[in-house]
Structure 1
Amino acid sequence: MSSNEIKLAADSRTEFGKGASRRLRREGKVPAVIYGHGTDPVHIALPGHESLLALRAANALLSITIDGGKAQLALPKQVQRDPLKGFLEHVDLLIVRKGEKVTVEVPLVILGEVKEGIVTMDQQTITLEAEATNIPAQIEIEVSALEVGQQITAGDLNLPEGAVFPGEPEDLILSVAAPITEEALEASLEGDAGEAPAEEAAEDEAE
């Protein structure tokens, strides 16, 4: 899957500060700033509902028009949300160009289930260098054929054309561990229980 441009019509804004931002949000708009490629930051107001929908996807590629002007492509650089209600509080947008490479965090998604064992994710996202207009929405990892003891490294991932992992191919992504048996769990619990008296005895001797 690759990114599609999402068109948003923005208004320029001249009022700043918390009070101005609150007024914008009451009007159903989101305060934002757009910058990059040597341009001065421009403060804008985005349509609230459309922006909320657009920014549900990671690395959404936005086509922004300001006051009806020429459209410019941008990626969300920082998105601030209300921690309780989830509405957008402020958005930082980075201007990008077609064909330009950008560094982004892309979600990793597991497909299928292992026949035996437990899948342990070493990381939930992966850093990729990709074309700004062709950023994958997610990287899928099929695990149904994996067995206990097997691993998936960065070099094993099926990356879309134009996307590059800047790290080492041996970097661990996930592994399949043996399932925890009842015997092992009981032994672990017994071991924990047996350690406490010894610790207490050592403390008594120290006193």
Structure 2
Amino acid sequence: MSAAQAGEPSRDCPLCPRLVAFREEWRLKEPSWHNAPVPLWATADGDQSVRLLIVGLAPGLRGANRTGRPFTGDYAGDLLYSTMLEYGFASGVFEARPDDSLRLKGSAIVNAVRCVPPQNKPTPAEITTCRQFLEPAFTRFGKLSAVLALGSIAHQSTVRALGGKVSREKFGHGSRHEIGGITLFGSYHCSRYNTNTGVLTTDMFRAVFAQIRTFLDGAA
């Protein structure tokens, strides 16, 4: 499947001028980094095996923007992947690099905004523009039944991509909504800031994954 067929942005996607300028700046500073839209990452077992899609905010500057794999290279990935391993959504060993032995199981990961934004804060226009690359993920996986949105921006963009109303499908940690045959779960983002400030604890994060695991096992 080509990038275009999969609804993926090109490496030099020109749609958001501010993000393009930031990308070019870092290509000059760190030419060995990925410094491009970060592609959706899915299990190697085939699209029909994906039942859970995790939607993040955007690549971290020294995380996915550097490595080219979602949530790889920064603290958020440490918590996300250790929890996915615990609940059977991944296998192998996470070593924070794209050539480690970590593999997804029945899951896929994508960001609402594919390019790294300055200060990790995409603008509303950038979020809206990049939704054209988020929407195909919900039809690509024929057996998709659960989506986990990490943070309010990912949640709102997912709701809109699924054709729901943000005013009705409100975000909260542990939230759960049914939209167009998809069950949308919500969690605070697993960022270092949120964990350092106590907004999100490991137990809180695990509890959401436990709910998803129970839901998927019951729907099997």
TM class by shorter-chain length?
Answer: under 0.3
With structure 1 as the length reference, what TM-score do the two structures score? 0.24
- More helix, by proportion: 2
- More strand, by proportion: 1
